Amino acid sequence: MKNNQSIGIFDSGVGGLSVLQHIHQLLPFENLMYVADSGHAPYGCQDESYIEQRSRVITEHLLAQGAKTIVIACNTATASIIEKFRQQYGIPFIGVEPGIKPAIAITKNNNIGVMATTGTLFSDRYNELSRRFAGSVNLYNQSCPGLADQVESGLLDTPETIKLLEKYLSLLMAKQVDTIVLGCTHYSFLKVQIQKMINDSIQLVDTSRAIAEQLVRVLEQEALKKTSESGSIRYFTTGSIKNTQATINRLLNREVVVNCLP
Ligand code: DGL
């Protein structure tokens, strides 16, 4: 039965765990395989052909393991390859993209900041998305080099991370934004730090939960939902097992076993 097959989830590294947590909460019976491409992170400063090649290796590995659906828990990879992969592989793909629409729904002064990687902000997909809303709001794009790397190393509170956040947030606050979109899955793990640095009146938009909800809808539509026997989560990395495991334990606040992606 296809329903019993796993759901594959991947990101350039550990950022996509922010989405995985919601998926596990909403779909406790599903077996999840999470791949952190930590040996090749970050994706944010790479060109599209590199991201496509890495995403293909991981997708084909997940398919070989019997994935019934794949969640690209990475804004940068979604922007580069999701349409192509939807056409090429015969399974549903769910992606993530900066939550501009939800930001528009809550902004009061129409000034919205978007924190994302350079790859996402310069992609055709993102530019099309922002063009669609360009008339109604002011979008201030802020690329955040170095920030995903800090999360990747589990360094959420170090002076270096705080310095980077101060730099990027002050640029956005200078534009009087009242809403900030977290357009990279790694940044969800910095919410507490970000919230301490911004005015109370600024709202953060994180779409991790909405992605998990979208996955539920797709599984239901495709009759692919697994509805009994508790599910498992298996973690894989293309990088150092020891380092990835330490970061995941820190981010999820529990002990997990990480396997090497062959
Ligand atoms: N987590 C990824 C994203 O959502 C990107 C981080 C990176 O590898 O640069 O875009």
Helices first, then strands: H and E counts in the chain: 11, 10
Helix (H, G, I), strand (E, B) or coil at 119: helix
Partners of residue 142 on adjacent β-strands: 115
Structural contact between residues 232 and 211, judged by C-beta atoms closer than 8 angstroms: no
Which ligand 1 atom sits closest to the C-alpha of 77? 10
Of 12, 48, 118, 206, the residue with max ligand 1 atoms within 8 A of its CB, to mutate for a pocket test, comes to 12
pLDDT at 133: 86
pLDDT at 103: 97
In whole angstroms, what separates CA 9 from the centre of its chain?
10
Cα separation, 103 vs 90, in Å, equals 32
Handedness of CA 188, 189, 192, 194 (dihedral sign): negative
Residues with pLDDT less than 70, the chain: none
Q: Name the residue at shortest CA distance from atom 8 of ligand 1.
A: 42
Which ligand 1 atom sits closest to the C-alpha of 184? 4
In this structure, how many other beta carbons lie within 10 angstroms of the beta carbon of residue 108?
A: 9
pLDDT at 135: 83
C-beta of 11 in contact with ligand 1 (< 6 A): yes
Instruction: Kindly give the distance from the C-alpha atom of residue 13 to the centroid of ligand 1, in angstroms, as a whole number.
Output: 8
Helix (H, G, I), strand (E, B) or coil at 203: strand
pLDDT at 156: 97
Instruction: Kindly give the distance from the C-alpha atom of residue 162 to the centroid of ligand 1, in angstroms, as a whole number.
Output: 19
pLDDT at 136: 87
Instruction: Kindly give the distance from the C-alpha atom of residue 207 to the centroid of ligand 1, in angstroms, as a whole number.
Output: 14
C-beta of 15 in contact with ligand 1 (< 6 A): yes
What pTM was computed for the model?
0.97
Ordered structural domains, the chain, with CATH: 6-96+209-260 (3.40.50.1860), 100-206 (3.40.50.1860)
Catalytic annotation, residues: 74, 184
C-beta of 121 in contact with ligand 1 (< 6 A): no
